A = this chain, B = another copy of it.
């Protein structure tokens, strides 16, 4: 497995939670709650920006946003770990569905 792959990241998260005995907190209900909390934090730096400004973030702002994106991804992977869901496969399935729903010109 490539050391920087998504599957490796999911494994790191499982080991991280196991080492701290956090499994009892990580019910799917709680992980979905934590995910939406992080999604709100991801939106926060954009809330008063114009769309144009949001396309021209400074490197510092972009870096902060990248770490908020990471938080969302980490909870998504942990939720996948708990539910036994392969989120990348689900993503491909959803794009298949969307291609049927929104035909291109």
| Size bracket, chain A contacts | 35 or more
Task: Tell whether A66 pairs with B83 under 8 Å between CB atoms, given A34-B47, A51-B50, A99-B16.
Answer: yes
Task: Count the copies.
Answer: 4
Determine whether the beta carbon of A67 is less than 8 Å from that of B93.
yes
* Chain A interface SS verdict (over half): helix
Closest beta carbon of chain B to A80's beta carbon, Å: 7
Given contacts A73-B76, A85-B62, A95-B13, contact A29 B42 (CB under 8 A): no
Q: Which B residues lie within 8 Å of A88 (CB)?
A: 4-6, 9, 73
- What 10 A-B pairs are tightest by C-beta distance, nearest first? A40-B40, A29-B54, A70-B94, A39-B39, A27-B51, A19-B104, A70-B90, A36-B39, A28-B54, A66-B90
